[in-house]
Amino acid sequence: MLKGKKILIGVSSGIAIYKVLNLISSLRKKGAEVEVIMTKSATRFINPITFETISNNKVYTDMFIHPDKVLHVDITNDVDLFLIAPATANTIAKVYAGIADNLLTTAILASKAPVAFAVSTNTNMLLNPITQRNINGLMDLGYDFIDSNEGQLACNTVGKGRMAEPEEILEFIEYKLTKKDLSGQKVIIASGPTISKMDPVRFITNYSSGKTGYQLAKNARNRGAEVVYITGRVSTPKLDLVKNIKVETNVDLKDAIEHEFYNSNALIMAAAPVDYEFETTSDQKIKKSTDIVNYTLKKSMDILQYFGNKKANQKIIGFAAETENVLENANKKLVKKNADYIIANDVSKKNAGFNVDTNIITVIGKNKQKEYPILSKNEVANIILDLLVK
């Protein structure tokens, strides 16, 4: 989503400056072009050569070093996002007051690109009413702020003011710069495995990791959808700016979907409900008795088929994780579940099964069948979400 985007990073002086190096590296790996402005004070923390090496671009520190052009205007002309990181209380105050006494603050005033501040400051300075007024005033004017975290600060105190981690800032940038082609749509994304309990300490489940569902929910959010993110037992983190719902059993999953389904635009069933459940569940831990024990399993309710039969104008997308006759089984599933699309994959293939970061899929619809090569789950998620674009 960042390929071809141009990010201008304004670096003011703060100990969090070292985090910006990792951020630039991550941005470049995602295909973004990065340019850097440093204040004079920032160059006392890190030599500009370091930023030039990481960004593979010239670093600007002086407004008058290029007399043949108006640098503070030219440098912002073709920028997609102007990020100030670290954004100190001093720089924030200058911008709010309209002070343009260095290249960075002058460029901010000249910028037509969206500007975001990644706050980094001492707790007392952050909580000072003057700083709070400056932040709130800039937000009212349309500037974005990436909130700081609590933690150990350079002044040997613990509190708010620690600049957000590079991965958090990267998430903000991806969200900010992603085309909102799913705006106005409510999308339910169910992810990960469910369980069936034998007793309070034992259960059956499957190998689903929830990684595909996580990428689907994250990318749908970034593309402007209202996302309801329903997860079973997954190791993936919660997502900001979506409705997070945790479930355990098939009944939990069905009830959570049904509560949101009738005013939604789409259901993407990336969850892996257990196919069979214990007929009875013990309230107490079952003690070991003999070497061989028998338990009765019953077939679980087919949640995808249930909602396929309930749909009105919703799009239903399901998955077929198979080990043989993949396309044949997926096409049968498409008809039986009354789905709009089935995403088929052979989980026996290398790098296409559970708990990996890649997949090999075939998208099957009523009048469509397209096979894709091995892709990252991020790429797979966007291919699936493209099916929802009106």
The span from the CA of 24 to the CA of 166, in Å, is 9
Q: What percent of the chain has pLDDT over 90?
A: 77
pLDDT tens track for 36-52: 999 999 999 999 999 99
Looking at the chain, the number of H-run helices and the number of E-run strands are: 13, 22
Question: What is the pLDDT at residue 154?
Answer: 63
Give the burial class of 168: count Cβ atoms within 10 A of its Cβ; 0-12 exposed, 13-18 middle, 19 or more buried: middle
Specify the amino acid at residue 167.
E
CB atoms under 10 Å from CB of 129, counted, come to 7
155 is known as an active-site residue:
yes
How far apart CA 248 and CA 160 sit, in angstroms, is 35
Element of type H or E holding 329:
helix 326-336
The full DSSP string for 5-37 is -EEEEEE-SSTTHHHHHHHHHHHHHTT-EEEEE
The string of DSSP codes covering 279-328 is SS--SSPPPP-SS-----EEEPP-HHHHHHHH-SS-EEEEEEEESSSHHH
Q: Which two tokens stand for residue 57?
A: 């671009």
Q: Which amino acid is at 80?
A: D
Q: Average pLDDT for residues 256-260, to the nearest whole number?
A: 98
Q: Which of 70, 155, 335, 356 is catalytic?
A: 155
Rounded mean pLDDT of the chain? 92
Pairing of strands 315-322, 341-346: parallel
For 73, other C-beta atoms within 10 Å of its C-beta total: 14
Residues facing residue 199 across a β-bridge: 202
Inform me whether the pLDDT recorded for 156 exceeds 90: no
Cα within 13 Å of Cα(289), Cβ side: 5
Residue 308, CA distances (Å) to 229, 248, 253 in order? 19, 22, 15
| Contact yes or no for 128/88 (Cβ under 8 A) | no
Task: With CA atoms as reference, report the closest residue to 190 among 101, 317, 292.
Answer: 317
Give CA–CA dist 274/390, Å, rounded: 33
Extract the annotated binding site for CTP.
275, 285, 319, 333, 337
Write the pLDDT tens digit of every residue in 181-193.
999 999 999 999 9
pLDDT of residue 349: 85
pLDDT digit string, tens, across residues 345-379: 988 888 887 778 899 999 999 988 999 999 999 99
* Range 132-144 average pLDDT: 97
173: left (phi over 0), alpha (psi -120 to 50) or beta: alpha
Nearest residue to 364 via CA among 341, 380, 347: 341
Per-residue pLDDT band at 2 (split at 50, 70, 90): confident
Report CA torsion sign: 87, 92, 98, 102.
negative
